[in-house]
Structure 1
Amino acid sequence: MLAAMFSGRHTLCHDSEKGYIFVDRDGKLFRHILNWLRDGIVPTLTDAEYSELMREAEYYQLLGLIEGISSS
């Protein structure tokens, strides 16, 4: 999904002065996704947080993260 978002097929909401791109998802959880993309380690979270992160992982279609959360 991230690759698709930046492929040019989707219109992005972005601040041309600062170069920021707005992604309308939970920023608090996105840090866990970025960290997982960087190092492949599933964070230690509460069950409720895992549930929320699973929703984000499904949205971004991150199969490895989904598997990692499921096995935690």
Structure 2
Amino acid sequence: MTGVAEGDAAGGGAADSGSHVRSFLGAYVLGALAPEEDRRVAEHLGRCDACGAAYLEVADAPSLLALFDEDDLL
């Protein structure tokens, strides 16, 4: 996954206050972003209440997924 700045909002990026990172939150909570993207999302979450609220909605997903075993997913 690349391009938080390019893929998130036209003319901005996760580092800009006018951009949002909601589309990257799934990958963020799973630890699947590149280090630079991870840093940008984390910085954005620190200053954007809307994205911070969206993050809280998905933050527990990895822990919840760990409760399932292979048979549960069939």
What TM-score, normalized by structure 1, do the two folds share? 0.34
What TM-score, normalized by structure 2, do the two folds share? 0.33
Structure having the larger proportion of residues in helix: 2
Structure having the larger proportion of residues in strand: 1
